[in-house]
Chains A and B, each alone.
Chain A
């Protein structure tokens, strides 16, 4: 356990040191060349704003984070369910897949504007819908692949055991798709946060990180705008790290699986 911790620390310190050096250079450049805040804000000013306005930033993080979490959860659930249906009924696959791809190709701002017109202007539903849609697509494509890409030797073995379609689904296709689901979640977790911010740019209530960033910066409150950006980064990182932690626990080959199988 201690060796794993030291290994983790050893792999963490180079990027951490690199980040610290970059921040130091940023700080020195702004102070040294006496750059004005409307051009570039010093990290120390951003940090000061982050601390002084933390309760507002936290509120905005909760709003955007909740939207992203809703979208991530429902997108994943619906994506998994549809992937199951498509793998059971080939005809549905041919109907639904092209439509999903077509919808995914529509630019986000178009969809958000359409959703905004459908619901009241203070509703969070349009943003959640937007995130759901993006996550749904990523999960659908990956889980469908996992359900379908069964090794030929595994299908032949199951046939030799006279297994039914349902048994093959339960004992081969589903376990085979689980790593694909976690890959999809790892891709969608940061995406969900990004789409939650972006969909705040196109109207609706003005309480999330995306809106706060754009309004502060357009009002020349650059330091405060950057403080909200810092909040947005932290939220995105948190989502990403949760998805990685879930994968490490659940995927065979990961650190946790040996103990789980020991039952």
Chain B
């Protein structure tokens, strides 16, 4: 059973009486369990919209989406996925542990079980001493790790991430990428990851989905066979650089495709 199946999906935003934006058109994508799939493309290519559709935070105009073998709405109601955004989005009136416990509270877990799981998650993200801290006492990278711990607290099979490291500095960012790979390996989680960064996409992913704007669509899917155990040395290998080049050229190709299309349309 595929982790995510997107078939024939389009999304039209109607922003006014006549203005309509084709955010996505003709999207087909299947993601298998254990994959790490990045969605990359220029602003306005609909990569965040596609992620939000998988999360059922918005409904597609046409087509269907199944997550974990269920319609996406049912998957959301069953909390079959965890989600993390660019902003950590911690609730500032809750302690770190209580932030991690929130999705479990909403699932109706009892206090002791929740607290035990929160501690387990804090160990996983290597912040075991911060349970009783308040969010404002943590650095940006630490807050983002707590957000990931919260997203994975209910042990969902799928993690959806919308530029989670976009607001972090480069050093922290690379460290967080390595940590994310370790966490996903330990928890056996499938990931769909939206990013602007080509090296980030290549380093993390088993597949990179290249998208282009107006209308948002998938122009290329690039396999990244760098193997299961990637570390800082991976970033310095020739294979890594050649994949970066391949993704960059695919992105350029996507832009040319838009230009060519524009000419044809006239």
User: Interface readout for B119-135 with A: 1 if CB under 8 Å, 0 if not?
Assistant: 00000000000001010
Q: Is there a chain B Cβ closer than 8 Å to A37's Cβ?
A: no
Cα A104 to Cα B176 in complex, Å, equals 53
A238 vs B207: C-alpha distance when bound (angstroms)? 65
Task: Decide if the interface of chain B is mainly helix, strand, loop or mixed.
Answer: loop
Residues of A within 8 Å of B89, CB to CB, are: 151, 153-154, 156-157
- Please determine whether B132 and A261 come into contact, CB atoms closer than 8 angstroms: yes
Binary contact track B169-194/A, C-beta < 8 Å → 1, others 0: 00000000000000000000000000
Residue of B nearest to A178 (CB): B93
Q: Which 4 A-B pairs have the closest CB atoms?
A: A153-B89, A252-B93, A175-B93, A261-B95
Residue of A nearest to B107 (CB): A161
Residues of B near any A CB (own CB < 8 A): 55, 57, 76-79, 81-83, 85, 87, 89, 91-95, 98, 102-103, 105-106, 132, 134, 136
**Which of B55, B91, B92, B134 meets A160, CB within 8 Å?**
B55
**Contact of B102 with A252 in the complex, beta carbons under 8 Å:** no
| Given known A-B contacts A154-B91, A156-B57, A172-B91, A161 and B102 have beta carbons under 8 A apart | yes
What are 30 A-B pairs with beta-carbon distances under 8 A? Answer: A151-B87, A151-B89, A153-B87, A153-B89, A154-B89, A154-B91, A156-B89, A157-B83, A159-B57, A159-B76, A160-B76, A160-B82, A161-B79, A161-B106, A162-B76, A162-B78, A162-B79, A167-B106, A171-B91, A171-B102, A171-B105, A175-B91, A176-B93, A252-B92, A253-B92, A253-B134, A253-B136, A258-B134, A261-B134, A262-B132
* A46-101 interface (Cβ within 8 A of B): none
| Complex-state Cα separation, A176 to B77, whole angstroms | 24
Instruction: Report the number of A-B residue pairs with Cβ-Cβ less than 8 Å.
Output: 59
Question: Separation in Å of the B229 CB from the closest CB of chain A?
Answer: 31
Within 8 A of B (CB), among A214-259: 252-253, 257-258
Chain B residue nearest in CB terms to A261: B95
* Given contact pairs A156-B89, A161-B79, a sample of 8 additional A-B residue pairs in the complex whose CB atoms are under 8 Å apart: A153-B87, A156-B57, A157-B83, A160-B55, A172-B91, A175-B94, A252-B92, A257-B134
**Does the CB pair A162–B106 fall under 8 Å?**
yes
Residue of B nearest to A171 (CB): B102
Residues of A within 8 A of B76 (CB): 159-160, 162
Measured in the bound complex, the distance between the Cα atoms of B98 and A28 in whole Å is 61
A110 to B103, CA, bound (A): 53
Q: How far is the CA of A220 from the CA of B141 in the complex (A)?
A: 69
In the complex, A29 has a CB within 8 A of chain B: no
- When each residue 142-179 of chain A gets 1 if its CB lies under 8 Å from chain B and 0 otherwise, what string results? 00000000010110110111110001000110011010
The minimal Cβ–Cβ distance linking B133 to chain A, given in whole angstroms, is 9
Bound-state CA distance A167–B87 (Å) is 22
Interchain CA distance A151-B102 in the complex, whole Å: 16
Chain B residues with CB under 8 Å of A154's CB are 89, 91
- Mark A122-160 against chain B: 1 for CB-CB distance below 8 A, else 0: 000000000000000000000000000001011011011
Chain B contacts for A156, CB-based, 8 A: 57, 83, 85, 89
| Minimum CB distance partner of A172 in chain B | B91
Chain B residues with CB under 8 Å of A172's CB are 91
Question: Given A154-B91, A253-B136, A160–B106 Cβ distance below 8 Å?
Answer: no
Q: Which residues of B contact A153 (CB under 8 A)?
A: 85, 87, 89
What separation, in Å, do the CA atoms of A171 and B99 have in the docked complex? 11
Q: Please tell me if the beta carbons of B57 and A161 are within 8 angstroms of each other in the complex.
A: no
What B residues does A161 contact at CB under 8 A? 79, 102-103, 106
A139 to chain B, nearest CB (A): 20
Query: Cβ of B102 and Cβ of A160 under 8 Å apart?
Result: no
- Roughly how many angstroms separate A162 CA and B83 CA in the complex, as a whole number? 12
Note all chain A residues with C-beta closer than 8 A to B102: 161, 171
Q: Across the two chains, which residue of chain A brings its CB closest to B96? A: A261
Q: Which residue of B lies closest to A251 (CB)?
A: B93
The residue in chain B whose Cβ has the minimal distance to the Cβ of A262 is B132
Closest to A156 in B: B57
Q: How far is the CA of A48 from the CA of B55 in the complex (A)?
A: 74
- The smallest C-beta distance from B192 to any residue of chain A, in angstroms, reads 13
Give the residues in chain A near B132, CB-CB below 8 Å.
Answer: 261-262
Residues of A within 8 A of B78 (CB): 162
Distance from A193 Cβ to chain B, minimum over Cβ atoms (Å): 30
Expressed in whole angstroms, the Cα–Cα distance for A153 and B103 within the complex equals: 15
Contacts of B57 on A, CB cut-off 8 Å? Answer: 156, 159-160
